[in-house]
Amino acid sequence: MRDTFLEEAINEAKKGLQEGGIPIGSVIVHKNKILGKGHNRRVQEGSVILHGEMDALENAGRQKASVYKESVLYTTLSPCPMCTGTILLYGIPKVVIGEHQTFMGEEDLLKSKGVEVIVVNDKECIEMMTNFINNKPELWNEDIGV
């Protein structure tokens, strides 16, 4: 059975796809309560930084440092360098990743800084990103800076 919070991140990714954006979703959870959820909205908002993780953190609003240090970030795709830096900046101790087969982010950096990294390799996450990358390679390459 799939984790409820990963399920919510997948729902966010689907929203992004329905809006014409990139299907990556994320939720930030503190003590089993969702503080914020979001999805990649670079296309929709004309943003340079609104990856799924950044959108979830933004939607969580300003939090005390102690809250971040007790939180878990769920994301449908391995975090890029920008999102990894934000995870490290705020001291988020655990990241649950839906998949890293279509894109390997900075998991080694997270681990080297003591972050617990769990990769689920969820079939739906893999299929969603594989289909997106095949259908819109230019948009995907723009998102990851290629």
User: In this structure, are residues 73 and 53 in contact, taking their beta carbons and an 8 Å threshold?
Assistant: yes
Sorted by sequence, the CB contacts under 8 Å of residue 143 that are 6+ apart come out as: 22, 40, 42, 51
User: In this structure, are residues 83 and 57 in contact, taking their beta carbons and an 8 Å threshold?
Assistant: no
| Count of residues in the chain | 146
Taking the chain, what is the end-to-end CA distance rounded to the nearest angstrom? Answer: 36
Active site residues: 53
